A and B are shown apart, each in its own frame.
Chain A
Amino acid sequence: MGRRVGIVGVGQTHHAAHRLDASGMELIAEAVTRAFDDAQITRDEIDAIVIGNMDHFENINYVDMWALEGLGAFMKPVFKVTTGGTTGTTIAACAFYSVASGLFDRVLAVGWEKNSESDTQAAVATCANPVLERDPFAGAIGPLATEYSMYMKAYGATEEDAALVAVRDRNNALNNPYAHNRMKVTVEDVMNSPMLSYPIKFLDMCPRSDGACAVIFASEEYAKKMCPRPAWVHASVVRHDYTHFGDLEWQWMPSLERASAEAYKKAGITNPLKEFDVAELYLPASTTGVKWMDSLWFCERGEAPKLIRKGVFNMDGELPVNPSGGVIATNPIGATGLIRVGEAAWQIMGRARDRQVPNVKKALVTGFGGCSWSDVIILGADLP
């Protein structure tokens, strides 16, 4: 039944709004080189490569073919996968299956985006039905604003609850040298920032960044040789919801509920809040940092605001969420999910430096995208 797979190296660029010093290919090369250094290997030791991004953002079709010089992919098996916001975790899943299949021993997973060369919102808007839903739901903010409005009405969550999440993630980013937005903010700052789409304000929302991330997956045999403490993959699960926004359940997130329930089952997790030591979650807006905690089974539906107010997910709380600063600090879209995987792996490997949570044994990773699509990956210090 398949092979065990561990993460043995991670590299990422210094993310920014405009990386004028580097082309897309150079961003990729920067992340790949750093991952090679982290795992202490060379290009020759890579058996296959998985790459992904959002084609329309940089207007490059078949980016695997163009980026091969940055990837070191010449005359290697290459896979290009892409699924919108979940692209980063889709890449990680593909790399995981490639190694688990027994065909490849060391696989390089790369996600990237150069949003400064793109009209990101215009490109994202094309995924909505052009007649029925492109106007109200174009871009990323519309659906997120809708779901939190309904959550507030149903369960009495507030805008301040979301602001608490924004403060947590943004201040965590101060400890992460790779983060794009690094600013000390308070709840007042968030509440006073310009309204984008009620109830989401400027400081609640993710930016669009230039950046890339590379993660190296290895089979059990190699991982044990290559890394003193690999981050083992315990589960990888994907669930996709209906296509039309109007068909979705808005007060909770069925795809995340089902994906996490299945992943917990595979990894033998029964009490996620207690058993996980850290979580790197794809939270595109601070509002989701409230609402989606329900769907990750940390509490009953509607109870998340209480946990947020108690600081359960702060760095010194029961389950630190997004020590890296998360998506509202850094968002090179095709890389964003993979950065979650890489940061969680570093937490397990003990390489997270200033943002290290002590003694991490189990880490939870999520990806979000498409139309409420959810990916859940669980990493652990112990063999699965």
Chain B
Amino acid sequence: MERKVAIVSHVQTKHSSDIGMPRERMLFNLVKELHNKVGITRHDVDSYVLCSNDFEAGRTISTVFEDTPVGAYMKDETKVEMDGIMALIYATMRILSGQFDTALVVANSLGGSQFRPFLIMEYQLDPTFDRQVGLINELNAGAFQARSYMDKYGLDEWFLDAISARLLRNGAINPYALRSKDDATPEYVASSEYYYEPLRKLHCYPFSDGACAVLLACGEKAKELCEKPVWIKGFSNSLETCRLGERELYTSPSTKQAAEKAYKAAGISDPANEIDVAEISAKFAHQEPIICESLGLFPEGSAEDVAKNDLAEITGKMPISPSGGGICTYVFSAAGLINVAQCCQQLTGEAGDAQVPNAKIALAHGQDGFCAQHNSVVILSSEEG
């Protein structure tokens, strides 16, 4: 990479199961807030990458009504229809190409109040084989994946309860989180109803309304626009097959491959020691260890040990999702971008009670698809390097 790209600023909504306003108003308010925070107008932004989903919006070309409220009139705007972290990656490439100096990334969905994410996922199934049989949905596929991990490493359900409890407690100190409980215990999580054994209600993501906007700029411009730019040091993404039966669900080779490339770009050789904090997109509790292990942050099959020794706590050796992660908020289309925003807070020392001391290198993860079929990794740093 000849050019350097940094995050100038970021904003997110107070996520909710019903945000109570039209999508256009939500986006207008959000981007206006970002403009005011940075002290710019829409004329200072060269390029826009939006991220939303036609199925969720119930409209073909979901961005038709989004580009005016975000200020993209007569601008070079495009749309990525994946997880929001991919919109950030595309925006970074647009700046690296030298064609633009700034890019605004905006991702949103109203999965809480408008269209249920489980239904959005139904339309992702193969239309000829899987969808018509009607046996597979996101929830039971998730349950299969949890069971696959438990069987592989001989674990019972306790680690799922412990992960959710930790994340719910983290959510309580995140002002943007939808769901939280400041005194959550594994017993409390285990008292929630089964959705699909072994997954209980509190092992699954809540349906969320929300949006996130991140402003990127090339190095020189970023330094002009803000005091503490967060530098994008490396990223990658990778895709597995959509045939669940052909995958080993207890592990995530696509995460592993994406991480290897991102680490190489960022010059990281020992991720578990070099990365200070990670925000992981886990839609279900069991996905957190599967993804973290593929990222090389914990040994394989270590979910129970990690929980027992508090390794993933904010005060632990390898803090995972201080924001509360996917168990507290999962804004479809925006989740990975929100992880990036949370990492930025950590790196600029603005994370409040959730602050990991001296965080310098952070990892943001995003995923799409059944059992995290597609995974993306972004490495961020407070130092230009």
List the A side residues contacting B65 at CB < 8 Å.
Answer: 129, 243
* Cα of A74 to Cα of B2 in the assembled complex, Å: 29
List 8 additional contacts besides A62-B124, A80-B82; criterion CB under 8 Å. A54-B61, A61-B54, A69-B241, A77-B239, A97-B90, A100-B99, A126-B58, A254-B74
Residue of A nearest to B2 (CB): A102
Q: Are B64 and A84 in contact (CB under 8 A)?
A: yes
Nearest CB of B to A380, in Å: 16
Q: Are B81 and A55 in contact (CB under 8 A)?
A: yes
* Cα of A78 to Cα of B124 in the assembled complex, Å: 16
B276 at the interface (CB under 8 A from A): no
Q: Are B54 and A56 in contact (CB under 8 A)?
A: yes
Q: Are A79 and B86 in contact (CB under 8 A)?
A: yes
22 A–B contacts from the bound complex (CB under 8 Å): A1-B98, A55-B55, A55-B81, A55-B123, A58-B127, A60-B124, A61-B53, A68-B241, A74-B239, A77-B237, A79-B80, A82-B61, A90-B78, A90-B79, A93-B78, A97-B90, A123-B60, A238-B78, A239-B76, A241-B73, A370-B61, A370-B63
Nearest CB of A to B378, in Å: 13
List the B side residues contacting A20 at CB < 8 Å.
Answer: none
Q: Are A75 and B58 in contact (CB under 8 A)?
A: no
Q: Which of B37-45, B199-207, B321-329, B367-375 lies at the interface?
A: B367-375
Nearest CB of A to B377, in Å: 11
A371 at the interface (CB under 8 A from B): yes
* Cα of A231 to Cα of B126 in the assembled complex, Å: 36
* Cα of A324 to Cα of B61 in the assembled complex, Å: 27
Q: Count B-side interface residues using an 8 Å CB cutoff.
A: 56
Which residues on B are within 8 Å of A, measured CB to CB?
A: 1-2, 53-55, 58-61, 63-65, 67-68, 72-82, 86, 90, 92-94, 96-99, 120-121, 123-124, 126-128, 236-242, 253-254, 257-258, 368-369, 373-374
A81 at the interface (CB under 8 A from B): yes
A220 at the interface (CB under 8 A from B): no
Nearest CB of B to A377, in Å: 12
Q: Count A-side interface residues using an 8 Å CB cutoff.
A: 59
A240 at the interface (CB under 8 A from B): yes
A242 at the interface (CB under 8 A from B): yes
* Cα of A90 to Cα of B257 in the assembled complex, Å: 27
Q: Are A60 and B123 in contact (CB under 8 A)?
A: yes
Q: Are A75 and B81 in contact (CB under 8 A)?
A: no
A73 at the interface (CB under 8 A from B): yes
A59 at the interface (CB under 8 A from B): yes
List the A side residues contacting B81 at CB < 8 Å.
Answer: 55, 62, 80-82
Q: A100-B98, A101-B97, A240-B72 are in contact. Are A59 and B127 (CB under 8 A)?
A: yes
* Cα of A261 to Cα of B297 in the assembled complex, Å: 50
* Cα of A80 to Cα of B253 in the assembled complex, Å: 20
Q: Are A55 and B93 in contact (CB under 8 A)?
A: no
Q: Are A371 and B64 in contact (CB under 8 A)?
A: yes
Residue of A nearest to B257 (CB): A75
A270 at the interface (CB under 8 A from B): no
* Cα of A98 to Cα of B73 in the assembled complex, Å: 24
Contact check: which of A75, A94, A255, A371 meets B253 at CB < 8 Å?
A: A75
